[in-house]
Amino acid sequence: MMISRGLFGWSPPHMQPLTPVSEVSEPPESPSPYLDPGAENGGTAAAAAQVEADEEMEEQDEVEPPPAAVPFSQLFACADRFDWVLMIIGSVAAAAHGTALIIYLHYFAKIIEVLAFSNESSQQRSEDQYDRLVELSLTIVYIAGGVFISGWIEVSCWILTGERQTAVIRSKYVQVLLNQDMSFFDTYGNNGDIVSQVLSDVLLIQSALSEKVGNYIHNMATFISGLIIGFVNCWEIALITVATGPFIVAAGGISNIFLHRLAENIQDAYAEAAGIAEQIRLLS
């Protein structure tokens, strides 16, 4: 048996490589001293584009979605039975108050008709015409008394229920704040947004409950009763009035948009002022 000998007549032991052949890594390639300026510029541009894309993604993540719109029925979520009674009475009074204007104009037109008829016939008024004029005048006086009573009931009921419901909203808001952790006040309570936000929101809710809902019912009653009496007396003129209705609605919608933006700007200004006042208080 032939045994291979080494250099000095002995055979080296069989040694396994430290790294398996399959895992032997090739030596890294040395960078070329000749760089491609086009590739370098392309890599820089790609890196800059990636950074810009990441910044845009971060900005999109930071933008908070707008709050969901609350339905109109949730405006009366804090109303109890007494508040509902007040709102029903106030709604009936507002409808009567709005209808009274149309009824007044109707009887006023009849008075003008009686006066015009008396001028055309003769200079002396007959007893029938005088009695008719007195009757119509008394009717207008009764309408004025009804307007006073219905207007007082409308304003009183809606203001009272608005004060009651906003008081409940304030108390619930305070309860929610007291149940928060201290970290909540460290994060959101330093700039005064909590106080300014609740004050502005409660004022808007109170304005809607005490004034705008009653005015809406009042104006809708005036509109509907005016159309009814207009079609009964002279449907041709009523049709002309209806044709101008969309323009009036469009003008009202545009004005409401500007008023809504103005209210948002006022709310932001109040929040900023409250934050500045809070910072001054902390620094002093």
The enclosing domain of 140 has a CATH number of: 1.20.1560.10
Q: Does any domain span residue 30?
A: no
3-state SS, one letter per residue, for 237-253: HHHHHHHCHHHHHHHHH
Q: Does any domain span residue 15?
A: no
Q: Does any domain span residue 265?
A: no
Q: Does any domain span residue 33?
A: no
Contact call for residues 160 and 87 (beta carbons, < 8 A): no
Q: Does any domain span residue 92?
A: yes
3-state SS, one letter per residue, for 128-188: HHHHHHHHHHHHHHHHHHHHHHHHHHHHHHHHHHHHHHHHHHHHHHHHHHHCCCHHHHHHH
Structural domain of residue 137, as residue ranges?
81-233
**What is the rounded distance in angstroms from the CA atom of residue 194 to the CA atom of residue 237?**
54
- 27 three-class SS: coil
**What is the rounded distance in angstroms from the CA atom of residue 29 to the CA atom of residue 48?**
27
Handedness of CA 94, 97, 98, 103 (dihedral sign): positive
* Stretch among 2-11, 60-69, 72-81, 223-232 having the lowest mean pLDDT: 2-11
pLDDT tens string 68-93: 667 777 788 888 899 999 999 999 99
The total domain count for the chain is 1
Q: Does any domain span residue 37?
A: no
Q: Does any domain span residue 46?
A: no
* Stretch among 53-62, 160-169, 243-252 having the lowest mean pLDDT: 53-62
Higher-pLDDT residue of 252 and 34 is 252
Q: Read off the pLDDT of each residue in 92-116 and give the average, rounded to a whole number.
A: 89
User: pTM surpassing 0.85?
Assistant: no
Q: Does any domain span residue 63?
A: no
Q: Read off the pLDDT of each residue in 62-70 and give the average, rounded to a whole number.
A: 58
**What is the rounded distance in angstroms from the CA atom of residue 212 to the CA atom of residue 222?**
15
**What is the rounded distance in angstroms from the CA atom of residue 217 to the CA atom of residue 90?**
9
Write out the two tokens for 49: 């584009």
Q: pLDDT band at 232, cuts 50/70/90?
A: confident
